[in-house]
């Protein structure tokens, strides 16, 4: 079954924000909004849930810290202890000050790299993926709000979106 959406195009980000608020108040479902730059507060205006990427980043950092501590303990204490620069190799705790920079670097390394991978997977940005941008003008200076028609009258919705300041409204069959 194909679904129908209305593409409403705006020329100003403040006008778009107001239109998103009015559209939500009218109980229409906004599928997606395409903008040429980030519009601060748009996610809250659309009613999107807050992201959990920060929690994921913290967990990835803990994984990096654990890998660093485990790696250094095995390499420098258990497997091949060496007296480097007069530092004793009897225990991990005695060498902890020398290990802090490595633990910090691996914590940041794991958090950063795994976050990039997580972001790409979450956003479905695969290599060689075709762009899903419905209107090329949204990469330059226009804003597009995609509203689901569902069980609503197209004429009424078009009039409503026109009243919110849309300069162009198109019915699209997906």
pLDDT tens for residues 26-57? 999 999 999 999 999 999 999 999 888 899 99
CA pair distance 123, 32, nearest whole angstrom: 13
Residue 151 lies in a domain: yes
Greater confidence (88 vs 131) lies with 131
Domain match, 27 and 42 both? yes
Q: pTM (2 decimals)?
A: 0.72
Mean pLDDT, rounded, for 54-75:
95
Confidence label for 126 from pLDDT (cuts 50, 70 and 90):
confident
Neighbours of 10 (CB within 10 A): 25
Residue 116 lies in a domain: yes
| pLDDT, mean over the chain | 90
CA pair distance 147, 156, nearest whole angstrom: 13
Domain match, 78 and 112 both? yes
Domain match, 46 and 61 both? no
Q: What is the CATH number of the domain that holds 42?
A: 3.30.70
pLDDT at residue 150, rounded to an integer: 84
pLDDT tens for residues 143-173? 999 999 988 889 999 999 999 999 999 999 8
pLDDT at residue 1, rounded to an integer: 43
CA pair distance 19, 89, nearest whole angstrom: 66
Q: Tell me 139's DSSP state.
A: G
Q: How far is CA 170 from the centre of its chain?
A: 28
| Residues 77 and 70: beta-carbon distance below 8 Å | no
Domain match, 82 and 103 both? yes
pLDDT at residue 155, rounded to an integer: 92
Domain that holds residue 74: 53-123
Residue 129 lies in a domain: no
Residue 10 in tokens: 């705006």
- What DSSP line would sit under 64-75, residue for residue? HHHHHHHHHIII
Domain match, 117 and 92 both? yes
| Residues 115 and 53: beta-carbon distance below 8 Å | yes
Domain count, the chain: 2
| Residues 135 and 146: beta-carbon distance below 8 Å | no
Domain match, 117 and 90 both? yes
Q: Tell me 50's DSSP state.
A: P
């Amino acid at each position: 079954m194909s679904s129908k959406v209305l593409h409403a195009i705006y020329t100003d980000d403040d006008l778009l924000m107001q239109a998103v608020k009015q559209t939500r108040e009218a109980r229409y479902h906004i599928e997606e909004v395409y903008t040429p730059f980030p519009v601060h507060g748009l996610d809250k205006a659309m009613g999107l849930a807050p992201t959990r990427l920060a929690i994921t980043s913290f967990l990835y950092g803990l994984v990096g810290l654990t890998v660093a501590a485990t790696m250094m303990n095995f390499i420098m204490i258990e497997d091949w202890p060496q007296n480097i620069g007069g530092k004793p190799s009897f225990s991990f705790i005695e060498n902890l000050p020398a290990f802090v920079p490595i633990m910090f670097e691996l914590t940041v390394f794991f958090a950063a790299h795994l976050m990039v991978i997580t972001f790409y997977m979450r956003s479905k940005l695969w290599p060689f993926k075709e762009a899903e941008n419905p209107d090329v003008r949204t990469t330059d200076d226009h804003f597009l709000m995609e509203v689901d028609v569902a069980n609503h009258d197209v004429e009424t919705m078009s009039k409503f979106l026109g009243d919110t300041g849309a300069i162009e409204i198109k019915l699209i069959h997906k």
